[in-house]
Amino acid sequence: MKRLIMRAFWGVNDKSHRLLNRKYRVDGNIKGLLKSKNNTEFITYVWGKDNYEHLTKLGFKCVLVYDEPFQWDLIKYQYRHKLEALKYAMEVEGVDELLHVDWDCVPLKKADDKMWEQLSKKDVFQSNLMQYHRIKAKWRKSDRRKIPNGGCVYIKDKSVPAELIKVWETMKGPSAEPPMAKFTDNLMGGWKGINEYWKRFEMPICNLHRSAAFPIDLIKTKDVYFVHYQG
């Protein structure tokens, strides 16, 4: 059983658009992460030789996925890179279970066997359900502003990343989250409400710092290893 904690890194430093500007925020997150005493070893899947050299000099273990800093338009399709990183880890690297964490996911304690055991008890895909201000799941009749947050994702089936990409291809956009929502809805045979999502897909070891879709008393029952300080 090959388990992996992973991150992904792509893009260029460009302040001309808010979606391009994200790399500056990631650089700031990295500085904070380097100071943390709670880090567990992880692999970073990287787009761009310069990005790869930058991260390896900082001491991170990296895999170069693509020589250029991006493959897809960074304004229209930026987060396709994240889905491809998940696919690369499982299909090329042979990972059986992975935990993807964004750079703004702050570790509260080191990963251990107990963490992986908790993750293994739920479904093949897990992520925190987030309450957005705008409608995101346009195909639903209810809870259309509640979708998975892509900042902390667990997968234990090698077919899942490719399936997520198939759904993304039918939607196409800058975010990977609506495809994640459609994917989990499909696994449920259609949206079955937040209680069913909690039982099957809610991330048990990570909390959102704000905008969680669940009541605080339920969120407090988690054994938290990461907090996602999403932008």
Share of the chain above pLDDT 90, in %: 91
CA distance 224 to 110: 10
Encode 64-118 in three state secondary structure: EEECCCCCCCCCCCCCHHHHHHHHHHHHHCCCCEEEEECCCEEECCCCCHHHHHH
Q: Is 29 within 8 Å of 23 (Cβ atoms)?
A: no
Locus of tokens 């990972």: 95
On whether the 3-228 domain is CATH 3.90.550, my answer is yes
Radius of gyration of the chain from its Cα atoms, rounded to whole angstroms = 17
**pLDDT single digits (tens) 115-153:** 999 999 999 999 999 999 999 999 999 999 999 999 999
CA distance 65 to 52: 9
DSSP string, 152-177: EEEE--TTHHHHHHHHHHHH-SS-SH
Boundaries of every domain in the chain: 3-228
**pLDDT single digits (tens) 45-76:** 999 999 999 999 999 999 999 999 999 999 99
